[in-house]
Chain A
Amino acid sequence: MSQLAGKPAHPAPSERIWTGEAKKQRSAPRAKRGILALRAWQSREFTGAKPMMMLVLLALLGALLLLSLSLGSASIPFDQILSALFSGEAERHAWTSIVLKFRLPKTLTAMLAGMALGVSGLLMQTYFRNPLAEPFVLGVSAGASLGVALVVLTSGAAGGALLAGLGLAGDLLLTATAGLGAAATMGLVLFVALRVQSSVTLLILGLMFGYLVASMVSLLLYFALPERIQAYINWTFGSFSGVTIEQLPILALFVLAGLLLSAALVKPLNALLLGEDYARSLGANLKWARIGIVIATALLVSAVTAFCGPIAFIGLAVPHLCRGLLASADHRLLLPGACLAGACVALCASLIAELPGNNLVLPLNVVTAILGAPVVILVVLRHARGKL
């Protein structure tokens, strides 16, 4: 163990090898260490990762954005779409308004929601060290659905007329109550997160909150009028089309704040890969990490659930997809990866839900699962090295 003998504590592992002078000096252990260092240096510290995949995802996202803007029930020439987007004016007034009022907000909503769900799913899976964790394990969607159920199911005749008659205002009311419900649940979870020691406790409490709230929704459903129930179920199908261009900045603000906070958490997230004890011994402040993760998830998921309904599957599947595609566990790669992949998956789902050429619109939640599950099964099986 000659390399242990001298001081300083770690002698340089042969920098010459990096500069190409290795052949001049050929002592075996030195060369071996040099090769190791070189390999690590070339691929940064995460050998085997495929950062190039990020460019593929980026290109795919670009293509899907254009596709989502150009496809729809009305066929509009591509150059007209571009001119509507950039000069705000197309040959026909209807085209301009279709692109700017319908397709653009829907596309951007799908992108933001996909990013938010992908990243929050990644946060939850890493923090709970559970491959089945997803954005809703902390009870956010249950909280949001309670808010919606309260409005849709309990409002009297006047309220029902209000919802039916006012349209947009009714949507806004739904969004607001869903947001309130989600925020209240997350507030409760955060209150608990400040006091518990382990992630498992938090997971169980989050799930229990979810069940409690869901049972209240069931109770409301049980006593509700059938046509009200239909309205509630329509909300649970999920949709990217309900967000207007005026509401979009609110959604974007929440999602961006959540993404920024998540980016600040990459180091504790990487440490948490080894479990909470090891993370602490690596100097991670677990309490702040836990609070940060809960707040980031709350920002990302409450806003998306409030505006788009409880969109299943994306948050569960995208992190697995990312780990498989990028062949890495490093959150410096996975976080942007989950953003891109989440946006791609959401845009795909939205495109397929509104298949061009007919007027049938499928429920979004149906599409996300039918489209995504086989893809994820494939990726997981192909890259299965040990357990998830």
Chain B
Amino acid sequence: MTAYALETRALTIGYRRRRQGDVVLARELDLGLQKGKLVGLLGPNGVGKSTLLRTLAGMQKALAGRILLGGQDLATLSPGALARRLSMVLTAAPQPNMMNGYALVALGRHPHSDWLGRLTTEDHKAVAWAISAVSADDLAANPLAELSDGQRQKLMIARALAQEADIMLLDEPTAYLDLPRRVETMQLLKRLARKAERAILVSTHDLDLALRNCDQLWLMRQDDMAIGAPEDLVLQGQLGETFSAAGINFDERLGAFVLDSPRGRRAKVSGDGTEAMWMRRALERSGYNICEESGELEVTRRSRGGAPFWHLRMNGRASEHLTVEAVLEALESEWS
């Protein structure tokens, strides 16, 4: 039997309403988080991801069921004891004035420090370690107001680490970050789960990053939850089922969402270099159906005397163009 850092027994989450009865978002959940594992929480907007995280963090009361932290019921833990076992990172990083990175991370030592929050040498070591662990050494002395969203979020993760809790819950920590920062954050979380032996649950809308980095996915849906390794969920078609909407489909081969191909004209792009790939995308974007056989039009990458150009053939006529944009313009004027 696996030992879980966090475990739920028949957990029902939602909101209590006085008049209309309770709003239930998910029923009878039996979940488990293990140390050393990164778990991704995915689901459409409004399905209750944040509510689940807030309930697991003890910020909100469960409607029914129990949450066990290392076998101990969450409801019996004092706020301090809970903070020593579970840390949290939220979507928006706060920006207190007149505070620098080090001071922010040091706040993570609160559950361990005395009534004045004084830091011992041990605390300073934990703070310095947490800052190094997220590679934010160069941010520590900067005032928070001068840092970017991504840098502040990094420090917030360091603060959660400095808390030295086994369990870390993150509610869409990458929502305000650019793509490189999102990739970096997810990889950081994976590394922390492994190397620092944390049980990490992160909710995100970055499907691709979750598929690549998480050890397990919790796929939250209107009435149930699918749990498994990301690859298994893809192969079972669960991801497509959860997220597909009109006009958008999950392509299991690509591991990404694709737009439904409209029934447009058939186009053939010859060649297989980077150039041909981008030309295919441009034609797809403009509503053409890319096919392997001969279509109504054919685009070929050619070169004359070292100068490359696009050769376009349609309706029996041929023309030459220098850029992708020029090809698209020629097509547009032809069909209009």
Which of B86, B98, B124 has most A Cβ within 10 Å? B98
The minimal Cβ–Cβ distance linking A281 to chain B, given in whole angstroms, is 4
Alpha-carbon distance A44/B100, docked complex (angstroms)? 12
| A4 cross-chain contacts in B, Cβ below 8 A | 133, 191-192, 195-196
Q: B198's closest neighbor in chain A, by CB?
A: A9
B129 touches A11 (CB 8 A): yes
- Binary flags per residue of A270-293, CB closer than 8 Å to B gives 1, else 0: 110111011011111100000000
Q: Which of A107-115, A207-215, A219-227, A321-329 sits within the interface?
A: A321-329
The reply to whether B98 and A13 contact each other, CB–CB distance below 8 Å, is: no
Residue of B nearest to A5 (CB): B195
A267 partner, pick from B90, B108, B115, beta carbons under 8 A: B115
Contacts of B124 in A (CB 8 A): 37, 40-41, 45
Q: Per-residue 0/1 for A308-328: is the Cβ within 8 Å of any B Cβ (1 yes, 0 no)?
A: 000000000000000100011
B128 to A329, Cβ gap below 8 A? Answer: no
Q: Specify the chain B residue showing the minimal Cβ separation from A387.
A: B97
Chain A residues with Cβ under 8 A from B113's Cβ?
267
Q: Nearest B residue to A39 by beta-carbon distance?
A: B141
Quick check: which of B30-38, B77-85, B263-271 contacts chain A, the rest being far away?
B77-85
0 or 1 for each of B160-195: is its CB under 8 Å from A? (1 = yes):
000110000000000000000000000000011001
Complex alpha-carbon distance, A270 and B96, angstroms: 10
Decide: B83 and A1 in contact? CB cutoff 8 A: no
Residues on A with beta carbons closer than 8 Å to the beta carbon of B95: 386-387
Any chain A CB within 8 A of the CB of B276?
no
Give chain B residues whose Cβ lies under 8 Å from the Cβ of A274: 94, 96, 104, 107
Judged by a CB distance under 8 angstroms, whether A26 is at the interface is: no
Interface hits, A302-349 → B, CB 8 Å: 323, 327-330, 332
Per-residue contact bits, chain A 27-60, to B (CB 8 Å; 1 contact, 0 not) = 0010011001101110011111000000000000
Which residue of the partner chain A has the closest CB to B126? A10
| Min C-beta distance of B172 to chain A, whole Å | 13
* B286 on the A face (CB < 8 A): no
- Residues of chain A within 8 A (CB-CB) of B313 are none
User: With a CB–CB cut-off of 8 A, which chain A residues contact B94?
Assistant: 273-275, 278
Contact B163 A10 (CB under 8 A): no
Chain B residues 99 to 144 lying within 8 A of chain A, measured CB to CB, are: 99-100, 102-104, 106-108, 110-111, 113, 115-119, 124-133, 137, 140-141, 143-144
The reply on B203 being an interface residue by CB < 8 A is: no
B233 interface residue, CB < 8 Å from A?
no
Nearest Cβ on chain A to B79's Cβ, whole angstroms: 5
A264 at the B interface (CB under 8 A): yes
Is B79 in contact with A332, judged by CB distance below 8 angstroms? no
Contact mask A1-35 → B, CB, 8 Å, 1/0?
10111000111110000000000000001001100
Contact (Cβ within 8 A) A329 B117: no
| A86 to B125 CA separation, bound complex (whole angstroms) | 51
Q: Are B110 and A282 in contact, CB atoms less than 8 angstroms apart?
A: yes
Residues of A within 8 A of B119 (CB): 44-45
Is A329 a contact partner of B137 (Cβ separation < 8 A)? Answer: no
Contact B117 A332 (CB under 8 A): yes
Tell whether, in the assembled complex, residue A270 and residue B97 are in contact, meaning their CB atoms are under 8 Å apart. no
A9 touches B83 (CB 8 A): no
Q: Is A281's CB under 8 angstroms from B59's CB?
A: yes
Are B125 and A10 in touch, CB under 8 angstroms?
Answer: yes
Candidates A36, A277, A332; contact of B131 at CB < 8 Å: A36
If A33-B137, A46-B100, A386-B95 are given as contacts, then 19 extra A-B residue pairs at C-beta distance below 8 Å, sorted by A number, are A4-B192, A4-B196, A9-B196, A10-B125, A10-B129, A37-B125, A37-B128, A40-B128, A45-B103, A47-B140, A273-B107, A280-B79, A281-B86, A282-B110, A283-B110, A330-B99, A385-B97, A385-B145, A386-B146
Q: What would 14 A/B residue contacts be, using CB atoms closer than 8 Å?
A: A10-B126, A13-B125, A13-B132, A40-B128, A48-B141, A267-B115, A271-B107, A283-B84, A283-B111, A284-B79, A330-B99, A332-B116, A332-B118, A387-B97
Counting from the closest, the 8 A-B pairs by CB-CB distance are A386-B145, A283-B83, A10-B129, A4-B195, A281-B88, A283-B80, A283-B111, A273-B96
Interface residues of B (CB under 8 A from A): 57-59, 79-84, 86-88, 90, 94-100, 102-104, 106-108, 110-111, 113, 115-119, 124-133, 137, 140-141, 143-146, 163-164, 191-192, 195-197
